[in-house]
Amino acid sequence: MSAVHVMFRGTQEDFDFTELFPEDRYEALGIAPGTTVTSQSVSTDQIKMALAQKFDVGIGEFADHYIEVSKNGNITARANTPFGLNVLLG
């Protein structure tokens, strides 16, 4: 099953996809009953909502987070900041 890697408030957490998207939470996440749910079928907003519910914070806490769904099904959520760039300050 897919993993969800989250960088939030200075910590890193890993969750199994089914931990964030259990069948009994589908309605609260805006997922229709009977839907086959995979990392490829959920929206960015649904991922952010699931994370907000998991961390017991408002969804606005994830407004600036970048969500990446890899081809292998893993999801990464991190603050929308550049990585790997050398920045020269004058």
Closest CA to 47 of 35, 72, 65: 65
What is residue 68's predicted lDDT score, i.e. its pLDDT?
A: 94
Cα dihedral 68, 73, 75, 76 in deg (nearest 10): -70
Q: How far is CA 83 from CA 27, 79, 80, 86, 87, in A?
A: 35, 11, 9, 9, 11
19 lies in some domain: yes
Q: Is residue 33 part of a domain?
A: yes
55, part of any domain: yes
pLDDT given at position 58: 96
Check whether 69 has a pLDDT greater than 80.
yes
pLDDT at residue 83, rounded to an integer: 58
Let me know if residue 87 belongs to a domain: no
Which structural domain range is residue 73 located in? 3-79
pLDDT tens digits, 28-68: 999 988 889 999 999 999 999 999 999 999 999 999 999 99
Domain-located, residue 86: no
In a domain, 90, yes or no: no
27, burial (CB in 10 Å: exposed 0-12, middle 13-18, buried 19+) = exposed
Number of structural domains (the chain) is 1
Q: How much is the pTM?
A: 0.85
Q: Is residue 88 one of the residues assigned to a domain?
A: no
What confidence category does residue 90 fall into, taking pLDDT thresholds of 50, 70 and 90? Answer: very low
